[in-house]
Structures are given as C-alpha cells and as structure tokens.
Structure 1
Amino acid sequence: MPNTLSLMSSLRDVASRINTDAEVDTLLHSLIELACRHGSWDLGSIMSVDISRGDALVIARRDTTLLKKPLADRWELATSPALVALQRNEAVYIRNALETTEFLGYRREAAERGYRTVLVLPMASRDVEGRPMVLVVSARKIVDVPAEHLAFMELVVHLGAIAIERAYRQRAQQAAAEHLRRVVDVQGAMLQEVLAGGSMSTLTEMLADLLDSPVLVIDFCGGELLASRSPRATLDSAAWRTLLDGEAGRQIRSTALGAIERHALRRVRFDLPSGLPLHADVEPLSVDGDTVGALLSFDEREPGDLHTIAIENAKFAMSVQLMRSVIRFRSETRTLTELFLEIVERRWRDERDVIERARRLGLSLAAPTRLLVIDYSRRDDRAFDRSAECHRAASMLAAQHKLLIHPITVGSGLVCLLPDVPTRTAATVTAFARQLCAALTTLLGGEPTLVAGDLFVGLEALANEWDRCWRMIRVARAFGKSGALSVPDLGPLPMLIGAADSSDVRAFISGTIGHIVEYDAQHRASYIETLATYIRHGCRSQACADAMGLHVTTLRYRLARISDLFGIDVETPERRFAVELALQLHNLLDAGHSVGAAAHNAL
C-alpha cells in the first residue's frame, strides 16, 4: 500500500483527470482506473444496484488479466456486499474473499479469478437510470487497509461523485439548450405557417413536434378534430382517426368544452367507449374572449417552464389560425342573418331585389320552402356561445338525412330553411326535427324548443310563417314546454295568441278586466287574482277560499268590493264566460309579450 504522502500527491492527478471527462461513461471508466492505479489495487469495477430486481449490474470494469475469461456482469444482492454498503453508507472490507461465509458470490469468483482482499465503497451518486452505485476494488493478495488508505479511497469516490453530478448537470443543460433551440425553431416555423395561411393539419404536426407528445386540436367553430400521432401504443394512426370520427370524438369534444366551461383542473380524464381512459392537459383557444377551440396534450411528464412557454406560444399560433375560421363563420352568418331579419321585420322595399340577394347567398325564396325555428335554452355565459356548434350539428344531421338546408343563426336561436322536394315526406322532416332537437340538447345542456312551419313561397309568406312559429315558441316558453312541437302539441293556444294580437281583442280585454288590472298595479292589490281563482273553482266560495287560504267571509267581502268598484258580475253564464276568456287572453299576453318583444329585438 502507498504511504500517506504518495496518496495525497495522487489526489491531484485524480481530480485533474476526472475533471476533463465530460461523458458519464468515460468518467466512470476513468474513475475505476484511477482508484486502482493510485490505490494499488489489481481489479476494480463500478456497479449499479437495482433494488427492485434484486441484483447489481457491472457498468464499468478494470481487469489487467492477460488471459481474458467471461466474467459475470450481474450479481444477486443476496450474495453481494453492495447492498450492505449502501444501507450502512460505509465501506465493506473483506480481508480474504476465499474464506468469507457472508458473501458466497465473491468467495466463488475469488477462487476463479485469483483475488483475495475486496473493498466495497458506496458512491453518493446514481447512474443514468437513477440507480445507486458502488465502487468495488480487489487485490490478488491479502492486504490490510489502514485508516488513511480508506480515507483516500473514500475521497476518490467523493471526487468521482462530484464529477458525475457535474456531468449530469452539463448533460441536462445541453439537453435544455437543445430543446430550447428546437422550440424556438418550431415556433418560428409555426408562425411562418400561420402567416402564410397554412393548414391546421400541418400546424398540428408541428405542435406535436414542439411539445414532443401527441396532441389533439379541437375546432369548435368548424367542428374538426385535428390529431397528430396516436396517444396509445395499442392504437395506430388509422384506428385513432376512426375513433375520433365516431362517438369517441364527440365525447372528447364535449368533455373538453365542459372542462373549460367549468374552469376545471387542466388535467382531464377522457373515458372512451372502448374502455381505455386517456389523460390530457386541456388548454382553451380563444378569439375576442370567446372559446373557439381546445388544445389537448397527451403528455405524461410533469410540465416545466420551457413546456409552459411552448404551450402558450402554441395556443397563440393556433388561436390566430382558428381566427380565420371564426371570421369566415361570423361573416357568412351575419350576412344571412341580416337578410333574414330584413324579411321577417318587413323592412324591404323591392321584393325582387331581396329575392336576388338571397339567390346570391344560395337561397331560393321564390320556390316552396319550409321553415324550422329553434329557440335555445337560455345561457348567461357569453364566453361559451355554442351557436357555431349548433350550426354545424344541423348541417351534419341534414347531410345524414340527405336534406338540403340553410341554417341561419338568429339571436338566441337557429333558423333552418328547407327547400321543398316533391319526393320528401312529412315523416322525413319530423324525424330530422326530433333528431336535431336531441343533438342540440346534448350541446346546450338543456332541451331547446323546435317548431316546424308550413311551406311558404315569397317574402310576405316567410314573414307570416315566422310570426306564426314564434307565437308557438312564445306560448311554449310561457307554459314550460320544450322539444320538437307542432300545433296539436299546444292545443288552441297559438290561435288565441294570434287573435290576441288584434286591436279588437285587446279592446275586449281592456273593457272587461282592464280597470281591475290598472287598480291592482296602482294599489298593489290582488283583485284580479281573487277573481281568476274564484272562476277557476267554478264560482264556489268555500273551495276558492280554501285554495287561497282565506275565510269564506273574507272572500265574499272581496267579491263584493270587485262588484262595487268595477261592476263585474260573474253569476250568469254569459258574463262568467266573457270574464274567464278575458282573463285567459290577458294571462297569455302578459306571459309572452315581454319575451316576444325581446326575441324580436335580438333576432
């Protein structure tokens, strides 16, 4: 064994040598070479300890034997001192491996390779796979290891651990720099592609390369799902595309939009019909404060700062690209909506000019056409306007039924114009209306109201049909009805509403109960309610008093006051019918007038 002065002099060579090695593999081989040479050991190796597998693996070796023999690279931890050294965090010294009874693997190999003394030292570092390491040296003869020599070996191991950690940091910095360079390059290419008006599919592939993970871009306006490679090794690209084109794609789109709307956690679980759950980071894509798309990244790694920057830049590029789709949709919708409102509000001057403008937009109003009016469920969150999705759903469903339709977004609803075809049956239109109502229910989170009108030809007929359909929707709102409706579904109420719009009927209502309505409004009284309840219970005092929670004497007093103040008598069948009809018409107008006015202004 070398003396202390020689050992101290050797440290400079050790530190200098391992400091020049940048690669971890080269560094490990240099470390075991220096430890053997300066520590006067004959053989040596560095081993990774895989505790989960229960063995130790040789990753660097020094063997000066001229006659090469096949050597064992794996050792069971049960026969190796490596695990003991790591657990105790101290060196394990085997004076004579031929006589050891604790480590039988070394006893067998010592006889084969001709070494005696073994020293195993734990290393305060890990290999590239994160496994702890030990340094093992051995001598062909039995040697004693004094304290200063052991300290020297521990110091060599410590210097090696420092050099290994430095190499890992350098490798990580180089990888980060390379990743940053690649991110910058891809981001620049993406922006150039966006400015050049490139396709969304090309951008999606660039984005997958940028994030180094499978991605999925959802266009809520256009209804497209643009995917890169499959997020599952068990699904090839064709199978993944087929999955997205079916029910799974609709479910993914709905789940992503729901998560954005609820401001849920960014990491979202998608339960596919195949039973294979997927997890993805969901990021909204917005234009002018409206959510127009979503970016899904199927990455299992924890996001870092660079990944976050890449996501933000990707969202910007994708939002700019989606803006074109949004602008095109809004432009087309606005043009059709303006023309439709001009017709139904009867603001046109030259009918032929309006028909020609409609023809240029693809509408033939001079031919028989059917009108469908859909009133959406009320939504307060304007940032999640789903009119584009409803527009797309109507077009896709019409294509499945082989129907030509012209969907027009109007206020808080949708209007569909269906050019008539002689071979089309009423059952086809009814089936389309019901399926469209069901599809929109899923999108809106509530059942809309859909009314199918009759055939019309010309502008005035369209305006009249619109008024009739909207009267039905107004009645449906007032009475809490929804779904695909027709006149029989509402009974005579649409006709009564239509009649109530005339001045004669309004005069009848005013002359019959108008004074009571005005009196109640001015004095905050409830005479009109008392009168309506009394008639509804067949003019039976006790039943009416019980329904209102009054004493029968109090009810009779109120009825007497109504007769004295307003001269209303309901004791004869004729007068009772007149008052009851006035009350019904007043309730219909009062329930639907404000809603109808707001709808006409919005639509």
Structure 2
Amino acid sequence: MPDQLSRIMSLRDVASQINSDGDLDTLLRDLIQAACRHGSWDLGSIMTLDLAHGYALVTARFEANVMLRSPSGDRWELATSPALVALQRFEPVYIRDARESTEFPGYRREALERGYCTVMIYPMASVDAEGRPMVLAVSSRKVVDVSPDDLAFMSIIVHLGAIAIERAHRHRAQLAAAEQLRRVLGAQGSLLQEVLAGGSIETLTAMLGDLLSAPVLVLDFFASSLLASASPVPTVHDDAAWTTLLEGASGRQMLAEVRDAVTTRRAETITLRLSDKLSLDARIEPLMVDDEAVGALLTFDQSSSNDLQKLLIESAKFALSVQLMRSVIRFRFETRTLTELFFEIVERRWRDEQDMLRRARRLGLSLAAPMRMLVIDFPDRTNASADLSVDGHRAVALLAAQQHIAVHIVTVGGALVCLVPHEEGVELERVTRLAHRIAETLARSVGSEPIVVLGDTCEGLEALAKEWERCWRMIRVARTFGRRGAMTVPDFGPLPMLMGAADSSDVRSFIDGAIGRVIEHDKKHNTAYLETLAAYVRAGCRSQHCADAMGLHVTTLRYRMSRISDLFGIGVETPEQRFSIELALQLHSLIDNSNASAARHESIPRMRG
C-alpha cells in the first residue's frame, strides 16, 4: 500500500478529479476510477440499491486490466449481496477472500469467474437521481489484508464522492429550476401576448393545460360555461365524453358548487362528485374582476406545487381574469344597452320608429318581426335582486340554448324579459316548455319559485309596449293571489282585463254606489257586514249553506242579512241584483289586494338612470 504522503497527494487528486461540473454519470465513473487507482484496487463499481424490487444495480464500473476483463452482471439480488448488509449497518463490509466465502454465494461465483479475491463494500451517504441509496465496492485479484489506515483512506474517498454527488444533485436542481423559471417567464409572455392579441378563452385554456402539464377547467360565471383542456379521468371519460358531461346536468351542478365555494371562500380545494363511485379533487383559483368573482380556474394536479408553479398559476389567473373582464364588460354593456332600448319602447319615448328598429337590429333584435314576450318576476329579495338578475340571466340563456330557442334577454330591475322571435319550427308548445323549465330551474337556484308569464305574439313597437303592460298586469294578479310558476293568459281568465280597468273612475263609482256604504260602516263601527254579504253571495244566497260555512246559526245569519237590507238598501233577490253585488265585491277585492301588493312591489318597472 502507498505511504501516507502519497495518500494525501492522492486525496488531492481525487478531490480535483471528482469536483468537476460534469453530469452525474461522469462523476460516478471518475469516482470509482479514482478509488481503484489511488487505493490500489483492481476492480470497482458503484451500485444503487432498489429496495422496492430487491436488486442492487451497477451504475458505474472500473477495471484496471482491460485485457483480463470478463463478462459481469449488472444486477444483483439483495438477498445474496453484502451491499444490503453494508447499508443496514452503515459500515464497510470486508470479505478477505470471496472465492472461499460461503455467506455470499453470488460473490463467490463471480470471484471464481472473474478471478478476484478480496472485496470491500462501503455505504455512501448519498442517493442517485431517483432517491435510491448507493454503495461503492472495490475488489483485488489477490488476497489483501486491509489495515485501519486503508479503511480510513477509502472512507475519505467515499465521503468526498458523496459530497461531490450531493453537489451534482444541487447543480442539477439549479439547472432544472432555471429551466423552469425560463419556461414560466416564457409562458407569461405567451399568455399576455395571447390576451393582448384578443385570443379566445378556449385557446388560453388549451395553453394552460400544456404549460401546467395537467388537466385544467376554466369556469366563466357570467357565460355559465365550462372549458376543459383535457379529461382529468381519461380511463373513465375521454376528452369528448368529458366535454359532453360538462355541457349536461353534471356541468351545471359543478358550476353551482364552484361558484358557491368561490363566493363563500370556504376552501382552496373542492371535491366534485361525478357519480356515486367517482369523485375528483381539484384546486380552486378564483378569477376576480373589481373584487367580484367572475370565474374560477380548477387544476387537477395532485403533486405539491412549488414557488415557480404558483407563479405560473398567478400568471394564468391574471390572463384569464383579463379575458373574463372583457366578457363581463361586454355582458354589462349589451345588457344595459338592450335595457335602455326596451324601456324607450315600453314607455313610448321614441320619436322615430325606424331609428328604433335600426338600433334594435344593431343589437341583433328584429322588432319588425313577430315575437313572444316571456316575463320572469323573481321572489321578493330586494337585497339580492342584482345577483338574482345576473344568475337568472345565465340560467335562462343556458336553458334556451339547450332547447335551441333564440332569445333576447332584457334585465328590468328585479325581473327579466325574454323576447322570443317567432321562427319556423318553434311552436308555442316548445316556448311553453321553456317557461316551465325556467320556473323549475330558478326555483332550485334561488330557493323560491318565480312568476313566469308567457304572453301572446306581438309585432311592432306599440304592440310590444301593450304586451308588456298586459304581462305585468298578469304578474300583479299572480302576486295578488299568491300564484307562482309558469302561466299564460288563459290561466287567469278575465282578471288581467279587470285589473287593467279596476283603477278607472267609472269602476270606483260603481263600487261606491253598490257597496260603498257597507265598507264605510264596517270601518267606522268595526262590523263585518261586508264579509257576511260576500259569504252569502258565494254560497249562492242559500242561508243554511252560508251559515254552516261561517260557523253561525242560520237565525243569526238571517238577522244580519235583514240589517244589511234595512241599513243599506241592498237586496239580492233577483239575478240582476246578485250579479251587480257580486261584481262590486270582486272588483273591490281585486283593488284592495292590488293596493296591498303594490305597497310591496313596484307596479311597472321604470328605467333608472
């Protein structure tokens, strides 16, 4: 063995040789070569231990005499290898003569085949690129008695090698981080360039899937749309099937759950249940415009995110928010513009009819063609009327698209007006079915069923204004009598007509002349003569039937009717008298209930500045 000075100089050479900027494979070859030459060994190898599969794998090999080289294996079973013993004890394993060793039969067989004797195996305080532990093995073609100095010398070489390997790992990680940073910065530039160039949100979604190397899902709350880069469960749903699923009931449920999670800021992740046996976990990244959640980015990558990936996601959120901001501005502008046009028509503030028709055509609406009006009146939730209008707008647009019915949606305060052009193939039955679907869907989303009134066909500006007034009278009737859901004109009979005429002076004079004195007497003396008269007329002027309905003795009822006749001169003996009194009672009830409803609701919405 070399003397001490030579060994010190050898260590310097070893350190210089392995302290290079080469890749890991080159470093391992240099390390085993230096260990063999400076430690006076004939053969050597560096092995990684695949503990999961039970094998030791040779990653670097050196043999001093190439002419004597014979074939050797690159994989050893750990059960018969001293490498596992060295790793478990974390101390060198010394085999003086492998040809005579019975503890490791694999080494004995190879020692006889390749002609080596002494073997030393050192555990290394390092791992390979896949995180597997490593050992260094050296062999001599003759029997060598290893001294403590020899062990210490080789241990130092192995330690220097472990330091170099760790340095190589860090260098590789730095290169990977630099490459990822370059990729992130390039991705930022690409995303911003796509946004500034006016690219579509579909293109942005596809780019994000490629950049994040994971499926993503972009939700647009204003457009009620879901755009996916790829299927997160390709074994269950391919890309086409995933897109179909998002367009159906599962997609609508997913949109509602994500919007609720983003609005309430409950969690950063969400579990999407696609079926009883299939659920997906996704990270939620809200997309904000002016502190309002307008959408969300869902990523289905289960790996832990580092700082650069977070930076990339923030860039993606910014690009998507800018794109959605355009959608929000366009939605608000179109809604506002169409609303202004609608109110100019129904409030009859236009001067040039042709100018109104041209303005409508620029908004994609043909007012000169026949159309139906469908009015949606939301439940009385004034503190959330804006949200109801926006959510209702999305839901109605989606339902109409699913049934292939063209609609123009106008926001009018706490209500929506849908103008449905009369087209070939769009029968009244389909529009009626749409009205019922709207009532059912909004009842689930807002917690209470709205009033949905389907009007008749109208054509032209004046006809549209009259139809609006008639539909709103129907809504007032529905509010008065507590009715909700989808309904049409025939469902109300003559009530809307009577509602329209009830406020006239002639009608009020008729009511005052027929039952006005009874009303005043009841108010002044706290009596119930009007109630008794109304019940008597409803019972068909049958005393016993009316008394039973009111819970009175028939004699008491007859006394009250006698007092009504004496005090007010009201009689119901002839059909004409009964009809007059019954009509006055109905009109009075209609006006009274209408006034009470008007105290809670605006009679007809007006345009606000």
Residue 119 of structure 1 corresponds to 120
Per-residue CA deviations over 1:220-246 (Å, capped at 9, x if unaligned) read 444554443554564665565555555
Q: Aligned pair in 2 of structure 1 residues 131, 184: CA closer, same or farther (>3 Å)?
A: same
Contact 2:393 2:409 in 1 (8 A): no
Contact 2:412 2:605 in 1 (8 A): no
How far the C-alpha of 1:163 sits from its partner, in A, is 1.1
How far the C-alpha of 1:513 sits from its partner, in A, is 6.2
Residue 106 of structure 1 corresponds to 107
Q: How does 1:513-552 map to 2 (within 5 A)?
A: none
TM-score (structure 2 length as normaliser):
0.79
- The letter for the 2-side match of 1:322 is L
How far the C-alpha of 1:328 sits from its partner, in A, is 2.5
Q: Aligned pair in 2 of structure 1 residues 541, 375: CA closer, same or farther (>3 Å)?
A: closer
How far the C-alpha of 1:18 sits from its partner, in A, is 1.1
Secondary structure (helix, strand or coil) at the match of 1:134 reads strand
Which of the numbers 375, 378, 397 marks the counterpart of 1:392?
Answer: 397
Per-residue CA deviations over 1:155-184 (Å, capped at 9, x if unaligned) read 222211111111111111111112111221
How far the C-alpha of 1:272 sits from its partner, in A, is 3.9
Q: How does 1:120-135 map to 2 (within 5 A)?
A: 120-135=121-136
Choose 589-598 or 189-198, whichever is displaced more: 589-598
Find the aligned partners of 2:524 and 2:195 in 1 and give their Cα distance. 64
Secondary structure (helix, strand or coil) at the match of 2:303 reads coil
Per-residue CA deviations over 1:348-388 (Å, capped at 9, x if unaligned) read 45555544543444434344321101234658396794355
Residue 28 of structure 1 corresponds to 28
Residue 301 of structure 2 corresponds to 299
Which of the numbers 590, 596, 600 marks the counterpart of 2:596?
Answer: 590
Q: Aligned pair in 2 of structure 1 residues 351, 33: CA closer, same or farther (>3 Å)?
A: same
Q: How does 1:408-427 map to 2 (within 5 A)?
A: 408-421=410-423, 425-427=427-429
Q: Aligned pair in 2 of structure 1 residues 157, 451: CA closer, same or farther (>3 Å)?
A: same
- The letter for the 1-side match of 2:394 is E
Find the aligned partners of 1:532 and 1:187 in 2 and give their Cα distance. 76
Residue 59 of structure 2 corresponds to 59
Find the aligned partners of 1:106 and 1:447 in 2 and give their Cα distance. 82
Secondary structure (helix, strand or coil) at the match of 2:337 reads helix
Which of the numbers 367, 381, 384 marks the counterpart of 1:380?
Answer: 384
Find the aligned partners of 2:261 and 2:422 in 1 and give their Cα distance. 41
Secondary structure (helix, strand or coil) at the match of 1:380 reads helix
Find the aligned partners of 1:291 and 1:143 in 2 and give their Cα distance. 76
Residue 553 of structure 1 corresponds to none
- The letter for the 2-side match of 1:207 is L
- The letter for the 2-side match of 1:63 is E
Contact 1:207 1:314 in 2 (8 A): yes
Secondary structure (helix, strand or coil) at the match of 1:407 reads strand
Secondary structure (helix, strand or coil) at the match of 1:596 reads coil
Find the aligned partners of 1:302 and 1:472 in 2 and give their Cα distance. 58
Per-residue CA deviations over 1:122-165 (Å, capped at 9, x if unaligned) read 11111111111111122222222222222222222221111111
Residue 179 of structure 1 corresponds to 180
Q: How does 1:468-507 map to 2 (within 5 A)?
A: 468-474=470-476, 476=478, 481-486=483-488, 498=500, 501-502=503-504
Contact 2:272 2:280 in 1 (8 A): yes
How far the C-alpha of 1:43 sits from its partner, in A, is 1.5
Q: What RMSD over aligned residues (CA atoms) do the two structures have, in Å?
A: 4.3
- The letter for the 2-side match of 1:396 is A
Find the aligned partners of 2:33 and 2:520 in 1 and give their Cα distance. 109
Secondary structure (helix, strand or coil) at the match of 2:601 reads helix
Residue 555 of structure 2 corresponds to none
Q: Aligned pair in 2 of structure 1 residues 450, 78: CA closer, same or farther (>3 Å)?
A: same
Residue 85 of structure 1 corresponds to 86
Q: Aligned pair in 2 of structure 1 residues 91, 472: CA closer, same or farther (>3 Å)?
A: farther
Residue 8 of structure 2 corresponds to 8
Q: Aligned pair in 2 of structure 1 residues 120, 472: CA closer, same or farther (>3 Å)?
A: farther
Q: Aligned pair in 2 of structure 1 residues 157, 444: CA closer, same or farther (>3 Å)?
A: farther
Per-residue CA deviations over 1:228-273 (Å, capped at 9, x if unaligned) read 3554564665565555555665555444334323424333333446
Residue 196 of structure 1 corresponds to 197
Contact 2:43 2:140 in 1 (8 A): yes
Find the aligned partners of 1:528 and 1:13 in 2 and give their Cα distance. 118
Contact 1:267 1:279 in 2 (8 A): yes
Contact 1:283 1:294 in 2 (8 A): yes
Secondary structure (helix, strand or coil) at the match of 2:295 reads strand
Find the aligned partners of 1:358 and 1:332 in 2 and give their Cα distance. 11
How far the C-alpha of 1:16 sits from its partner, in A, is 1.5
Find the aligned partners of 1:516 and 1:34 in 2 and give their Cα distance. 116
Q: Aligned pair in 2 of structure 1 residues 375, 290: CA closer, same or farther (>3 Å)?
A: farther
Find the aligned partners of 1:478 and 1:500 in 2 and give their Cα distance. 14
Per-residue CA deviations over 1:204-234 (Å, capped at 9, x if unaligned) read 3433343343333333444554443554564
Q: Aligned pair in 2 of structure 1 residues 322, 355: CA closer, same or farther (>3 Å)?
A: same
Q: Aligned pair in 2 of structure 1 residues 85, 590: CA closer, same or farther (>3 Å)?
A: farther
Q: Aligned pair in 2 of structure 1 residues 511, 211: CA closer, same or farther (>3 Å)?
A: farther
Secondary structure (helix, strand or coil) at the match of 2:32 reads helix
Residue 228 of structure 1 corresponds to 229
Find the aligned partners of 1:81 and 1:478 in 2 and give their Cα distance. 92
Per-residue CA deviations over 1:254-300 (Å, capped at 9, x if unaligned) read 44334323424333333446966444333222323333333233323
Residue 458 of structure 2 corresponds to 456
Contact 1:438 1:447 in 2 (8 A): yes
Q: Aligned pair in 2 of structure 1 residues 290, 492: CA closer, same or farther (>3 Å)?
A: farther
TM-score (structure 1 length as normaliser):
0.80
Q: Aligned pair in 2 of structure 1 residues 517, 37: CA closer, same or farther (>3 Å)?
A: farther
Find the aligned partners of 2:437 and 2:37 in 1 and give their Cα distance. 84
Find the aligned partners of 1:12 and 1:518 in 2 and give their Cα distance. 117
- The letter for the 1-side match of 2:342 is F
Q: Which runs of 5+ in 2 are unaligned?
A: 537-545, 553-562
Q: Aligned pair in 2 of structure 1 residues 407, 300: CA closer, same or farther (>3 Å)?
A: same
Choose 429-438 or 128-137, whichever is displaced more: 429-438
Residue 557 of structure 1 corresponds to none
Residue 76 of structure 1 corresponds to 77
Per-residue CA deviations over 1:387-440 (Å, capped at 9, x if unaligned) read 552353144135x2xx44322233343321123357754323222322344455
- The letter for the 2-side match of 1:310 is L
How far the C-alpha of 1:583 sits from its partner, in A, is 6.6
Choose 70-79 or 146-155, whichever is displaced more: 146-155
Q: Aligned pair in 2 of structure 1 residues 580, 227: CA closer, same or farther (>3 Å)?
A: closer
How far the C-alpha of 1:79 sits from its partner, in A, is 0.6
Contact 2:220 2:324 in 1 (8 A): yes
Residue 285 of structure 2 corresponds to 283
Per-residue CA deviations over 1:29-83 (Å, capped at 9, x if unaligned) read 1111111222222211111111111111111111235244332111111111222
Secondary structure (helix, strand or coil) at the match of 2:59 reads strand
Find the aligned partners of 1:321 and 1:57 in 2 and give their Cα distance. 52
Contact 1:475 1:592 in 2 (8 A): no
Contact 2:502 2:587 in 1 (8 A): no
How far the C-alpha of 1:19 sits from its partner, in A, is 0.9
Q: Aligned pair in 2 of structure 1 residues 425, 310: CA closer, same or farther (>3 Å)?
A: closer
Residue 318 of structure 1 corresponds to 320
Q: Aligned pair in 2 of structure 1 residues 314, 163: CA closer, same or farther (>3 Å)?
A: same
Secondary structure (helix, strand or coil) at the match of 1:416 reads strand
Q: Aligned pair in 2 of structure 1 residues 434, 309: CA closer, same or farther (>3 Å)?
A: same
Find the aligned partners of 1:581 and 1:539 in 2 and give their Cα distance. 24
Find the aligned partners of 2:438 and 2:98 in 1 and give their Cα distance. 83
Find the aligned partners of 1:3 and 1:480 in 2 and give their Cα distance. 107
How far the C-alpha of 1:458 sits from its partner, in A, is 3.8
Residue 329 of structure 1 corresponds to 331
- The letter for the 1-side match of 2:179 is E
Find the aligned partners of 1:37 and 1:536 in 2 and give their Cα distance. 119
Total equivalences in the alignment = 573
Q: Aligned pair in 2 of structure 1 residues 342, 300: CA closer, same or farther (>3 Å)?
A: same
Residue 213 of structure 1 corresponds to 214
Q: Which runs of 5+ in 1 are unaligned?
A: 520-526, 545-562
- The letter for the 2-side match of 1:145 is V
Find the aligned partners of 1:95 and 1:175 in 2 and give their Cα distance. 44
